[in-house]
Chain A
Amino acid sequence: MVRTAEDPQEPVTRPGLAVTYEGEGVPFFEKVLPLVDSVEVTPDSVAESRGGGAVLNGTAMANIETVSSKVKVLVHGVGLSIGSHEGYSEQYINLLDQFVSQVSVHWHSEHLGYTMVDNENLGTMLALPKTQEVFDMLCKRVSEIQDRYDLPFLLENVVHILPDYQGDYSEAEFLNALVEKTGCGLLLDVYNLECDAHNHGFDIDRFLSELDYNNVREIHVACGVEHKGFLLDIHSRRLRDSTIGLARRVVDSAEGAVEVVTYELVSEAIPVLGYELIADELERLREALL
């Protein structure tokens, strides 16, 4: 978090910047690291399958340890599958155990969705129905995770490609209630909101007017591709002005609650975009948010 003092009487707290990091070496250190206050690491992306289990890749972890001496490390999981009816992934928990034993982590987060059903991989991530049954299940699981790790835990809104299932809560009500009941934080992906608006006519203004901003500690910005009329969360592009504008709006409304804004990318996009362009995007983001 960065403090600015446009008005010395009332210092304004602005968020720091972060970017996805998957254990890359020198070019990342030289071109991107100086521009960020934190890096966001997905343990699943720096893990490999070995002997029926998953272990962290030694080279990537060595680089992450080096980076952790310069900036904060945020963990952003993909594989927890917190919403699977049969239970969340013990394999991911094992990975997270390994990760936090090696690197000092500022907080960890996960998607409010599921990737597994009956321990079978869906191959994608789906949003959860916002029913009372799901709410009660999530509260219990969030508490278990909070008890296991002495770290703040944040949950993120996911993109809906399938239409929303008629539940007992609106999107914002569900997030507000989860936060209130468990004390977890929120990671608000503003690009996912834009996808939902594009794909299903989701009302972003209404959502933001209902959302309790006090626990939005992180924002994700990204840009994906359009396919068959759907805006997808395959994070591989330069940011759209509208996404940065939405991030700015949330930062302003949250009045200091947002600590980090993260530019999210899939690893496949990094060689395509290149570090120069990623650095340009981070500069653009900093200019717009500070």
Chain B
Amino acid sequence: MDLTSHQRKLLGLIKSTYEGSNDEDPYIRKITRSTNLEVIREIAAWWRALNIERYCVLTTSLLKRWGIFESAIEEFAINQDTSRFIERLGTQFLEEMGRHENHLISCVARFELALIRVKGGDTRKYVIEWQHDPNVVLDNLLRGAALGEAIGIGNGHYRTIVSNEEPGLFRVVKFER
């Protein structure tokens, strides 16, 4: 097997996008169901998770609270060419979580990304609409408190405005429809 095929097959096996059990090369077949491959995948996932946890504190906290952090990381790694740089990786992850079907996950991720960007010198203004009270959600996430009843059923109307013109970089506005 030439180097190109060898490396492409291993990449596919690591990302679980290639099923190697019928490959013509006995080495690839041997690797496919091995503990070695499992360990390689776990090392890659461990580094990714560590960097995402460090960069995306709020979103990670929410996903962990709901027990879906690991599965979110796994799905993210399969769908994306993840960067080795923490800033790029974290941004990629927050962008993906910002498109999450769960409204609260999407809000927290978009808010966190906006805050990181503004802290980094971005002069734009970001407006995110929430169904839950952002003050309660963010406070509970930062304190590590339970999110259950405290955040309500999510039928409110709130906006977070994130901008370097806001004292503390953001403010919360409640509004009526």
In the assembled complex, the Cα of A145 lies from the Cα of B80 at a distance in Å of 31
- The answer for the CA separation of A248 and B38 in the assembled complex, in Å, is 34
B105 → chain A closest CB, angstroms: 23
What residues of A have a CB within 8 angstroms of the CB of B45 in the complex?
123
Complex Cα spacing A230 to B36, Å: 8
Q: Are B6 and A165 in contact (CB under 8 A)?
A: yes
From B82, B86, B87, give the contact of A121 (CB < 8 A).
Answer: B82
- B13-36 CB mask vs A (1 if < 8 Å, else 0) is 010000000000001001100111
B28 to chain A, nearest CB (A): 10
In chain A, positions 112-139 with a C-beta closer than 8 Å to chain B are: 114-115, 117-124, 126, 128-129, 131, 133-134, 137
Q: Is the CB of A123 within 8 A of B77?
A: yes
Interface magnitude class on chain A? 35 or more
Q: Are A163 and B6 closer than 8 Å at their CB atoms?
A: no
A-B contacts, CB under 8 A, total: 94
Cβ contact within 8 Å between B10 and A117 = yes
A222 to B6, CA, bound (A): 30
Known: A117-B11, A129-B6, A133-B3. A124 touches B83 (CB 8 A): no
**DSSP class of B's interface residues: helix, strand, loop or mixed?**
helix
Whole-angstrom CA separation of A66 from B141 in the bound complex = 40
A62 at interface by CB-CB < 8 Å: no
Are B77 and A228 in touch, CB under 8 angstroms? no
**Interface contact B84-A115, CB-CB below 8 Å:** yes
**Pick from B14, B30, B88: contact of A49, CB under 8 Å:** B88
| A230 contact set on B, CB distance < 8 A | 35-36, 39
* Min C-beta distance of B154 to chain A, whole Å: 34
The reply to whether the CB of B2 lies closer than 8 angstroms to some CB of chain A is yes
How far is B27's CA from A48's CA once the two chains are assembled, in angstroms?
Answer: 37
Chain A 41-74: CB-based contact to B (< 8 A → 1; otherwise 0)? 0001001111000100000000000000000000
- A123 in contact with B3 given A118-B11, A163-B36 (CB within 8 Å): no
Which residue on B lies nearest to A128, using beta carbons? B3
B48 within 8 A of A: yes
Chain B, residue nearest A233 (CB): B43
Known interface pairs A85-B7, A117-B7, A133-B2; A123-B38 also in contact (CB < 8 Å): no
Knowing A122-B44, A123-B45 touch, does A161 contact B39 (C-beta < 8 A)? yes
- Give bound CA distance, A85 to B7, whole Å: 7
Q: Which of A85, A117, A227 contacts B39 (CB 8 A)?
A: A227
Give bound CA distance, A165 to B83, whole Å.
Answer: 27
Residues of A within 8 A of B10 (CB): 117, 122, 126, 162
Which B residues between 57 and 84 are near A, CB-CB below 8 angstroms?
77, 81-84
B40 interface residue per 8 A CB criterion: yes
B155 close to chain A: CB less than 8 A: no
A residues near B81, Cβ cutoff 8 Å = 119-121
Complex CA–CA separation, A160 to B37 (angstroms): 11
Chain A nearest Cβ from B89, distance in angstroms = 8
Q: Given A122-B44, A124-B47, A229-B35, decide whether A49 and B85 contact each other with a Cβ distance below 8 A.
A: yes
- Of all chain B residues, the one with the shortest Cβ separation from A133 is B3
29 A-B contact pairs sorted by A residue (CB < 8 Å)? A47-B85, A48-B87, A49-B86, A79-B84, A85-B3, A117-B10, A118-B11, A120-B11, A120-B81, A122-B10, A122-B11, A122-B44, A123-B44, A123-B82, A124-B40, A124-B47, A133-B3, A134-B3, A137-B3, A161-B39, A162-B10, A162-B36, A163-B30, A163-B31, A165-B27, A227-B42, A228-B35, A232-B43, A234-B43
Given contacts A123-B77, A162-B40, A234-B43, 6 further A-B contacts (CB under 8 A): A117-B7, A123-B48, A134-B3, A161-B43, A162-B34, A232-B43
